Each structure stands twice: as C-alpha cells, then as structure tokens.
Amino acid sequence: MVHATTGPDGGTPLRRTPRQARSRARLALLLEAAERILVGEGVEALTTTRVAAEAKVSVGSLYQYLPDRDAIIDALAAGYFARLEEVMDELAGTAARERWEDPVGVLIDTFAGVYRTEHGFRALWFGSGLTERTRAADREHKRRMADGTRRVLLALGVAPDDAALARACHAAILAADALAQEAFRRAPGGDTDLLDEAKAMLRCYLTEVVARAGRREP
C-alpha cells in the first residue's frame, strides 16, 4: 500500500498536498488505482487518463495532484520509500529493547518480507520508467536507510558512533539493495540462495566493521 502525501525528501512530489480528509482519501484512491495498473500492466500503462479511469474519477480531479506520468511515478515511489523507512524505524526501536544474535539476518529477512508484499515497488523498480526525481530521491532514501542501520547497530552496542560507522552502514545498504533487487528479479518471492549469500557477505563485513572500531579505540 502506498502512502498518499509524504514525499521521499520529507516534502511531496505532488502538485498540491491535500489538507482535508476527503482530499487525502481521493488521492489515496488515485494512487491505489495507479498501483493496480503498475502491477498488472507495467509502468508504460501509467497514463493520467488510464489512472483516472481506473479510479473512476475525472482527469481534472487527478490533475489537481498528479499532472503527468512522472508525477504518478514519483508519488508511488515516495510511498514505497516511506514504507521501507517506517520498517527501519521500527527495527531501530526493537533493537533498543532486544538482543539480536544475528542482526544481519534480522534486517535482510525483514526487508525481504516487505519486498514480497510490495508488488508495486518491484514492478516500478524493475521497469524502465524511473524519473530523474525518483532516482535522486532513491539516493536520499538509501542514506536514510543507512542511518537507520547505524541506529540499529548503536542500539545493539555493536560499534561506536563515528563517521566510519556511518560510512560502513551506507556501503552495506548499497550492497544489500543491489543483491536484494537481483534476488527478486530472479524469483517473485526472492531467490533464497542469493539472499543467503547476501547474509554471509554482510555478516563478514559487519565483523570487519566491529574489528576496525576496536582498533580505533584508545
């Protein structure tokens, strides 16, 4: 399910942001229709007329928020980014209350579960219609996910908080994202063998990050 109003940069890719509950509900209806088209027919089918017809609203109503295909793509992507970041925030909170023997496994398994349910995210990312705004938003999204990973590791007491940890978390997110995308390109539910390889690789990297942190300590 995509979110209606929150953009990937904390703002919004929409022509205007709905303030009233009725307007938010109408926008949610439009985005749900767009997601159905995206999943069923692909990104090429995301025209304003097609989305308006699927949502059973006038094109004029759609134009209030989503003036063209790029705006539709940007708004859908914003919702998917928000969903992933919410999950990361939840994991950071959980890590502060629990002890995880395998933080890498928890993170990868959790996000693999999200990917399995977010059919629209997969359809958008594996299509060819990403806009420049969405690509830029994705780079910022990965930085926020890296910061979430840093917060998880700090909550678990794995390493001290410094620039090296932030850099390592960013590298880990970039690697994990590439491997996850390939795993879900290979199979709708994710290629479990490749996901297991991702876990093995990132566990080794986490061990190295912890060792380096120990060498930096006085």
Q: pLDDT per residue over 146-201, tens digit each? A: 999 999 999 999 889 999 999 999 999 999 999 999 999 999 899 999 999 999 99
Q: Is residue 61 part of a domain?
A: no
pLDDT above 60 (res 11): no
The CATH number covering residue 209 comes to: 1.10.357.10
Mean pLDDT of 94-110: 94
Q: Is residue 59 part of a domain?
A: no
pLDDT above 50 (res 9): no
Ranges 37-46, 90-99, 123-132, 140-149, most confident:
140-149
Q: How many CB atoms are located within 10 Å of the residue 166 CB?
A: 15
SS3 20: coil
Q: Is residue 147 part of a domain?
A: yes
CA angle 88, 75, 52 (to 5 degrees): 140
Single out the residue of 70, 87, 184, 88 nearest to residue 134, CA to CA: 70
User: In angstroms, rounded to a whole number, what is the distance separating the alpha carbons of residues 5 and 169?
Assistant: 28
pLDDT above 50 (res 8): no
% of residues, the chain, pLDDT over 90: 74
User: In angstroms, rounded to a whole number, what is the distance separating the alpha carbons of residues 85 and 103?
Assistant: 17
Q: Find the domain containing 94 and state its range.
A: 78-216
pLDDT above 80 (res 99): yes
User: In angstroms, rounded to a whole number, what is the distance separating the alpha carbons of residues 30 and 53?
Assistant: 10
Domain count, the chain: 1
pLDDT above 80 (res 212): yes
pLDDT given for residue 117 in this prediction: 92
% of residues, the chain, pLDDT over 70: 90
Q: Is residue 193 part of a domain?
A: yes
Torsion of CA 25, 62, 116, 151, to 10 degrees: -70
| pLDDT band with cut points at 50, 70 and 90 for residue 19 | low
Task: Identify the weakest region by mean pLDDT among 38-47, 119-128, 152-161.
Answer: 119-128
